[in-house]
Amino acid sequence: MSSKKSSGISCQGATSITTFADFLCSKISPALCQAVYEKTAIAIARDMRIKVQDFGGNRAQLEVCILKYLAQEESFEKFRRYLYSPREFFQEYIKKLVHEYCLDKNRRLEMFLNDSLTHYYENIQSAVFTSTRVIKDRNDRSDKISLWLDEFCSSLKEVLSLPRKDLKSIEHLKVTDIEFLNNAVTEALAPLHDELKQGFANADLNSFGRQPHTILAEQCAGCWEQCPFCGALCTNTLANHDGDHQLVFHRPNVLTGYKWYKTDNLVIDICSSSVASECLFRIGEDKWIPYKKYREAGPPYSTWNILPDPSMKAYWKWFVCHFRTQLEKWFNGKFQGKGEIPDAWKKITKQEVLSQLDKF
């Protein structure tokens, strides 16, 4: 009789311990998955900053890499997107690099995810052992399970989002053999690990809440103001910097669609030479401002410091020549009259342009 009874209790105990372990794992699973993706996104961004040349410097250096890429691709559509909305183009470009880095034949994404999983899985296992060690001899207490859960959640609080209150429904379980519980939880964790790992084989970048390219884009941030004449980006590395916006190499004003007044002649001059000229520019319907006093046009002009400098990068000379037809069509104008392209520009080769960029 007595042996039957004790076997009955043990059986019931075993069932409830299994229920306990399964319930606990059902709460750990989504928290673990989320933690793995968060850690992996940061790890990928960190790794790419070290290993991918494009991220080796500040945003201005990243832009040099973008210009190089654009020249290599020779796609006017891509140039158009870059010139029209540089900020979005940067995002798109970074996203492309992350995609290549993570999902090429090396499948680094899966490797990064598995590394993070191993890291957190070990944390969880060690939290199970620690909690068991701390609680197992507390024979003075009848609420050992509740104590075990307190200990377990608190040792994982820096690791997983596993609120203790979500485990209230299992804290009243009557279990005296904590070692038995320890083993049941450890056993239940193993399939959880394997299931997540299997899922990682098909993971893509959309599986992330906060994607690695978003983190990289934030780290490569800077001022996104564009020169009101040529559209080039301010090169300040701070988003809300003090003082004027500034940049070194301005671009031919045709890139923002400038034309000479009452003609269809596109403007190939750069702003930094215009500000030293006798020319005027128009704002609104008929207000004319001398380039020399461009700040008097008010914002955004007044927030820029454009130093007189006639030097223009060969890059934009090549670009204007190479995409002449497309630019004429885009801005509904012509490279003629005052916008006649100098012969010297036409001799510049893409190779020269690329090697000039390498010198940055």
Contact residues: Zn ion, CB under 5 A: 223, 225, 227, 229-230, 234, 236, 245, 250, 271
* Closer residue to Zn ion, CB minimum distance, 245 or 322: 245
Q: How far apart are CA 30 and CA 171, in angstroms?
A: 20
* Closer residue to Zn ion, CB minimum distance, 144 or 317: 317
Q: Give me the phi and psi of 225, to 5 degrees please.
A: -65, 140
Q: How far apart are CA 240 and CA 90, in angstroms?
A: 19
At 289 the three-state DSSP class reads strand
Query: Strand pairing partners for 282?
Result: 288
Task: Supply 28's token pair.
Answer: 């750990």
Q: In 167-298, where does DSSP find H-type helix?
A: 178-200, 212-219, 271-274
Query: Strand pairing partners for 304?
Result: 245
Smallest gap from Cβ 241 to Zn ion, in A, equals 6
Smallest gap from Cβ 63 to Zn ion, in A, equals 14
Verify cis geometry, omega within 30 degrees of 0, for the bond prior to 191. Answer: no
Smallest gap from Cβ 94 to Zn ion, in A, equals 20
* Closer residue to Zn ion, CB minimum distance, 181 or 223: 223
Cα 251–311–73 angle (5° rounding)? 45
* Closer residue to Zn ion, CB minimum distance, 9 or 248: 248
Smallest gap from Cβ 267 to Zn ion, in A, equals 12
Smallest gap from Cβ 188 to Zn ion, in A, equals 55
Smallest gap from Cβ 236 to Zn ion, in A, equals 4
Distance of CA 59 to the CA centre of its chain: 13
* Closer residue to Zn ion, CB minimum distance, 54 or 225: 225
Question: DSSP label at 37?
Answer: H
Smallest gap from Cβ 238 to Zn ion, in A, equals 8
* Closer residue to Zn ion, CB minimum distance, 128 or 271: 271
Task: Supply 75's token pair.
Answer: 């796609």
> Residue 240 to residues 31, 35, 171, 244: CA-CA distances in angstroms?
36, 32, 51, 11
* Closer residue to Zn ion, CB minimum distance, 23 or 260: 260
Smallest gap from Cβ 58 to Zn ion, in A, equals 13
Q: How far apart are CA 220 and CA 110, in angstroms?
A: 25
Contact 87, 337 (CB under 8 A): no
Q: How far apart are CA 318 and CA 324, in angstroms?
A: 10
Neighbours of 340 (CB within 10 A): 12
* Closer residue to Zn ion, CB minimum distance, 212 or 228: 228
Q: In 52-107, where does DSSP find H-type helix?
A: 59-73, 76-84, 86-103
* Closer residue to Zn ion, CB minimum distance, 156 or 255: 255
Smallest gap from Cβ 240 to Zn ion, in A, equals 9
